[in-house]
Amino acid sequence: MVDLSQIDKNQRALIKNISAQHGLKKRLQSLGLNVGQEVQVVETSLQKNTIKIALGFSSVALRLDEAKAVEVELAS
């Protein structure tokens, strides 16, 4: 398994685990990042310190450290 920060642009993945402290985990879940949710990396900043992902009809920008807390499995 890899974390969300390691996914390339336009790749899809399934969220398998969110390994963050309680506060951050709740905030990510309120944004729609839940176990079993499919996400797609839409864009990354030049230094890859911000990652924009699509979840359903929404998109969310995450900092690198937040993306590292989301464990994913590449969708086939």
Per-residue model confidence as pLDDT tens digits over 6-65: 999 999 999 999 998 999 999 999 999 999 999 999 999 888 899 999 998 999 999 999
Q: Which amino acid is at 51?
A: I
CATH of the domain at 47: 2.30.30.90
Q: How many structural domains comprise the chain?
A: 1
Report residue 35 CA to chain centroid gap.
Answer: 11
- Global pTM value: 0.89
In the beta sheet, which residues pair with residue 50? 63
Q: Shortest CA distance to 39 belongs to which of 21, 58, 20?
A: 58
Range of the domain at 36: 2-74
| Distance spanning both ends of the chain, measured CA to CA | 14
